Amino acid sequence: MKKLALFNLENVDHLMQPADFAQATLQSPATSVFTDFKHSEPTIIAGDTTAADAFLMMQQERSPLKLVVDDRNELTGLIHIEQLSEQAIMRQVILGADRRELKIRDLMRPRDRIKALAYQQLQNCTIADIINTLQSSGEQYCVVVDRDQHHIRGLIHAQDLARRLKMPVAIRQQPTFLSIFDSLYA
């Protein structure tokens, strides 16, 4: 039996994640970059979680986006950490909500407003196709649905694409009345 030599970590040793090993380019297959729930556990949060607790949890986990589920683990919406910002909370307080009682379900993007791509489409596309689609729709993220099986198969997030490509991915969101109002009165 061999005895292995233990040694101390050096400053140049970096913690790696699975995505760090896969080289991605704009021409890489689209299926190589989405968070596939067949291989990765979805990051979920209960809709009745308070906004304050959710914000702390998402910061600690470094998870900017979570799927919101009900008590049967069915998707009810998506929450991005920006939707838990002080500005978003104050908007609800002005409308009469009690800050301490605000729940994720009060701030999330509901299921009927979530955009999706078909897994079957992704099988014939590149990362550039995904970025173009997100940019033209003004969406930072979308879910991936296996339409044959009626499964929510995964998630695509522009920040993940940028990290994998090691380049910025700019998505300009379509201005809404609220965003215009917020910018005028900020």
What's the CATH code of the domain at 44?
3.10.580.10
Within a domain: residue 130? yes
- Is 41 within the bounds of a domain? yes
Model's pTM, two decimal places?
0.80
* Residue predicted with more confidence, 106 or 184: 106
What's the pLDDT tens digit per position in 105-119? 999 999 999 999 999
159 lies in some domain:
yes
CA atoms within 13 A on the CB side of 179: 7
Whether 103 contacts 48, CB under 8 Å? yes
Q: Taking residues 109-132, report their average pLDDT.
A: 95
List helix spans (H) across 48-176: 51-61, 86-94, 104-107, 119-122, 127-137, 158-165
Q: Which segments of the chain does DSSP mark as H helices, in order?
A: 18-21, 51-61, 86-94, 104-107, 119-122, 127-137, 158-165, 177-184
Q: How far is CA 108 from each of CA 7, 27, 137, rounded to the nearest angstrom?
A: 47, 33, 19
Q: How confident is the model at residue 180 (pLDDT cuts 50, 70, 90)?
A: low
3-state helix, strand, coil in the chain (%, to 5): 40, 20, 40
Domain presence at residue 47: yes
Does residue 11 fall inside a structural domain? no
Residue 4 maps to a domain:
no
Going by pLDDT thresholds of 50, 70 and 90, the confidence category of residue 68 is very high
Does residue 80 fall inside a structural domain? yes
DSSP three-state, residue 15: coil
Q: Residue 3: its pLDDT value, please?
A: 85
Dihedral sign for Cα atoms in the order 116, 140, 136, 186: positive
Within-domain flag for 5: no
Number of domains in the chain: 1
State the residue range of the domain holding 117: 26-180
Closest CA to 152 of 143, 165, 164, 139: 143
